[in-house]
Every structure is written in structure tokens, then in C-alpha cells.
Chain A
Amino acid sequence: MAFLSRITRLHIIAGAGVVFVALLVAFSLSFLQPTLRQIKDVKAQQATQEKTWSQLPAKVAALSQAKQNLAMAEAQANAMLARQPKISTQPFDAMFDLHREYTYGTGPALLRFFLSKGYLPRGIALPATPFAPQAVPPLLVIPMGGFGIQARSFPAVLNFLRQLKDMPRIGVIGGVTIRGTSPNLDVTMPLTVYIMTSNALAPQAQVALAALAQAKAGGGAAGGAGGPRPPGRLRIRMGGSRSR
């Protein structure tokens, strides 16, 4: 009690003030400021999410556009595939289809095409097909080697090259050489014919293509061909010309 008798009003007011301020400081430091900071962060995140959400109409439009592009590209690719000869995806049937196509399809079709354009081709030859069932790749390559035409004039050569876009098969020529003099210009060039099989647009081909693109993007050495590897006893050369 002797202690209390020495306490003055000033002491009490000062003590109460200290407690008051200490409570305020403790509240502010331990709760108010962290919580306000948290709220600020959440609001910022919310603003970001709202901004993302505000892009929805643009995304809807982009999706619509992408779907249109897909439909158009798919239609074009299917139209391209429809122009190709039918090669079965079943290895056994494909063996006969390949024989039919090589023997009665591509060769005669090319001959008819060149003759219809007024050029007499020579050296059109297709290799023999294997008589063993084998997996059908998305793209068949028929390296035909060199073939030639006789042209009467230089403009006729140019005209011939421009007409190649109408070839009945997807054909790509190599280096063109011109020899001789008019009207006996001898034009020779290698020709490679490509045949898309129905596997070309199949989902597994898409996966293979995506993997190939990834490998290329990653700087890895991509394989020469995207087609499935055939069974062991089948002879398929990838990317090279066949040895004679």
C-alpha cells in the first residue's frame, strides 16, 4: 500500500497511454498491416484474373476463326487426298494396290498427261513394287530418276514447266537441263512422284509430325522419315534412292 500511496494521477495516465499505444502498435504490426497487404495482393490477383476474363470475347472470336481455318485446311487437304490413288492402309491389300498403282496408275497417267500436252516423253520408268505386305507410310515416294522430253523451242520448254502443276500425281522435278538446238531441244530432268496414302491425314501422322517438329525445334537430329518402321523382313529404304 505504501507503493500505491506514491502513485500519482500522472503515473496512471502515463501507464494507460503506454498500454494504449502499445496495443495500437501491436495490432497494427501483427495483424492490420499484413492483412491489408494480403488484401492488396488478392485484389491485384483478382485484377489480373479479371483482365484475363475480359479477353474472353476475343478468345471466342479467335476460336471461331481457328475452327474456320481448320475446316478450310482440312477440306483442302482432303481434296488433295481425294486426288491421290487409293492405297489401302492394310499391308496385305496395300501390296496389291501398290502393284496396281505403279504398273497401271502412275506410269500410264504421266505418259498420257505429257502426250496430251504435246510432248513426247522418254525414260518414264517406275521401280517394281515389293511382294510382301508392309506397313503403309503416310507418303509414298517414287523416285523415277531422269526422264526427258523433246521440245521444239525454248518457249515450249517454259510452257512445259508451267504445265507441270496439272500433273495427275504430285510430282516434283529436279534440275532441268536443256541441250541441242531448235527444233530438237532435249530437255531432261529427274522426277519424283509422291503419293499420299490415307494414313497421311490420320491422327498418328499428326502425332508423328508434331514429334518431328518438336525434335527439330529442340535442335535434335530428326529422322529422315516420319512413317512407321516396317517389319524386319521388308525392304524399305528411307530418304535415299534405291541401289541397283
Chain B
Amino acid sequence: MIKINLLPAHILERRRLRSVIIIAAAVVILEVAVLGVAMTRVKGQLTDANTELAYWKQQAGKVAQFDSVIQSTNGQAGFYGRWVAWDTMIGRYHEAWAENLQEFARWIYARVQVDSLLPTPQQVQIQGRTDTLSSFRKAYLNIIRCPRYANVAFNITGITSGYVQGQTGAGPALRGPRPVAGSFGGLGGSARTGGGFGGGGLQLRLGSRAGMGRPTAAPAQSPFGMPRQAPRAMAFRGQRAPAGAGPQQLAALDRLRVGVTFSCLLKPQYTFQLIPPQPPVGGVPVTAAAGRGGGAAARARGGGLQIRMGGRSNTPRGGGP
């Protein structure tokens, strides 16, 4: 059978176009539908993520609360800790004083009789006497070996140098006051009446590296020691003095004619050991106003407090212990 299409060509073409348009429109509509679904899903994902984020934010907030509580607790502990640390530091500070004094004394030559030891947080001043300039030299070479000192300056008194015609030896004889057992100093250059060149005594003030050679003397085993010739009771060493110092002992004291003063500057790391620890809060001195029960007189009588209230006196009976 033969099938004959009698439709004109342009009508046939229009029909084909219509179907193409329908297909194209369907595809576009389908695309819009797919995109709509995708949009809904993506929005859903965003909502879910935001919900989860809100949950985790809430949980993390709890951690932050913990942080806040921990910080507050640590702050409170720190407050109490500062008081306790201060108390502990005071103990260490007093111990440090003992340790430092021991260390200062350790490097004082045995043939130096120490008359005073005056430490401050910055420097230590040691005054003493020895018998010869040679002993001073050893004392100096000892003291500069102390690891706590940054610089050591010294001062020598009590001997003369120079030359005076008609006199032999290093200088005139010592004419200063005789030292008395237990006295402080006693052999200063100013007390003497020396003559000749340099009659006022030898005064040196040099740095710790004054070209005196390498330290050779061993540190003294017993610090506040005495020259062998002197009575031992004169030393810081601690032996009890004999009942009375005999002429021989006093004569031996004459040998301690070289007065020495060492000014030792402490290294910075050691200065802090001797600075008193400060309390965590500033303290307030509470004392009576001057002229109102205060002053030296009141201190001498133990406060001298008198309270009169309502005509009756409650002055402590017996004045206190």
C-alpha cells in the first residue's frame, strides 16, 4: 500500500516546530523543577548546619563558663598564695642574710682581725686590721676571689711610706692609741703623728684589678680569724676571752697596725637576696600622732599610754611587762 502525504510542506514544518518547542519548554520546566529541588535541599543543609552550630555554640559556651570559673578560682588562689609566698620569702630572706654573711666572711683572710662588717644590698664594707702590708696583700687577693663581688675597693691606714733622713725602715714608729680588747678600730692613720714624706699614712683606692698579681692565697678556713700573734679572744672566731689581757697579748696587738677597709660592690644577682620582700598589699603604719603619747620618751617607757574614759583610768597596772 502506498501512503501519500498530501500536506503542504510548510504545514508539516510548523507541526515539527511545535513539537520541538514543546520539548524545549518541557526541558526548561524540568530544569527549573530540578533547580528548585536542589535549592530546597541546599537550604535544608544550611538550616541543619545552623542548628548544629547553635548547639555546639551552646556547648562551647559551657566550656567558656568553665574558663571563667577557673580564672576566678585561680585569681582567688593567687590572692591567698601571695600572702603565703610573702611569708615564705621572709624565711628565705633571713636565711639569705645568714648565707651571704657566711660567704662574705669565707673570703676574709685569716690574718685579718675584722672590726666591723657592714653589708647593704648593694655593697659590703669590711673594716679590720692586720699586721703587715704583705698580709693586707693576701687579704685583698683573697677577697677579690669572692664570686659575689663585682668590684672591690680598698683603703689602707696605719702605715707610712716614703723616706725620712736619719730614720731607717719604712717610716716612723706607730704612735697611735693602743687598741683595747673588744674596741672598734683604734688604729687609724689620722690618729698618728707621722713625719716625712707620706707621713699621713698610705691611702690607696684602686679597682679590683689593680695589677697586684694573680690571687695566690687560699681562702681562710675560719673567717673572722686573727693573726697568730694576737690573742684569739679578739677575733670574731668565738673563743672566750681570757680573764684579762696580759702585757704580752697587748704587745701583740701592736702588730695589728695596718688598718684596712674593703668596699665590695655586690653583683646584681646577689643584691636582690638582701632586699626585704614586700607584702602583697601596702602596709599602713598605725602610730599615735607625734606629741600625743608618741616620741622617744613614750617609747622609752614602753608606749606610755594613758586612757581616760568616763573619769576612770585604765592605765595598765604595773606598767606592763
A residues whose Cβ falls under 8 Å from a Cβ of B = 4-5, 7-9, 12-13, 15-16, 19-20, 23-24, 27, 31-32, 35-36, 38-39, 42-43, 45-46, 49-50, 52-53, 55-56, 59-60, 62-63, 66-67, 69-70, 72-74, 76-77, 80, 98-99, 102-104, 107-108, 111, 125-131, 134, 137-143, 152-159, 161-162, 164-165, 170-185, 192, 194, 196, 200-201, 205-206, 208-210, 212, 223-227, 235-244
> A208 and B281: CB pair below 8 A?
yes
Add 18 more A-B contacts to A76-B80, A227-B283, A237-B285 (CB < 8 A).
Answer: A5-B14, A12-B17, A15-B24, A16-B24, A36-B42, A73-B77, A80-B83, A131-B288, A137-B284, A140-B283, A156-B238, A171-B90, A172-B277, A176-B119, A181-B233, A182-B235, A200-B281, A209-B82
> A158 and B115: CB pair below 8 A?
no
- Give complex CA distance A12, B28 in Å: 12
Tell me which residues across on chain A come within 8 A of B60, comparing CB atoms: 49, 52-53
Tell me which residues across on chain B come within 8 A of A242, comparing CB atoms: 285, 287, 290, 294
Size of interface on B: residues with Cβ below 8 Å to A: 111
The residue in A140, A143, A152, A172 that gathers the most chain B C-beta atoms within 10 A of its C-beta is A172
The residue in B81, B182, B303 that gathers the most chain A C-beta atoms within 10 A of its C-beta is B303
> A140 and B286: CB pair below 8 A?
yes
Known A-B contacts A129-B287, A139-B284, A140-B283; A103 and B305 likewise in contact (beta carbons under 8 Å): yes
Total A-B pairs, Cβ < 8 A: 352
> B49 and A43: CB pair below 8 A?
yes
Q: Which residue of B21, B53, B67 is within 8 Å of A12 (Cβ)?
A: B21
> A42 and B46: CB pair below 8 A?
yes
- Give complex CA distance A19, B29 in Å: 11
Residue on B nearest A40 in the bound complex, by CB? B49
Q: Which residue of B10, B101, B294 is within 8 Å of A157 (Cβ)?
A: B101
- In B234-282, the 8 Å CB interface with A consists of 234-241, 274, 276-277, 279-282
Tell me which residues across on chain A come within 8 A of B64, comparing CB atoms: 52
- Give complex CA distance A125, B302 in Å: 7
Write the nearest CB–CB distance from A140 to chain B, whole angstroms: 5
Known A-B contacts A23-B28, A32-B38; A209 and B53 likewise in contact (beta carbons under 8 Å): no
Residue on B nearest A26 in the bound complex, by CB? B35
Q: Which residue of B10, B38, B304 is within 8 Å of A128 (Cβ)?
A: B304
Known A-B contacts A5-B10, A98-B286; A152 and B238 likewise in contact (beta carbons under 8 Å): yes
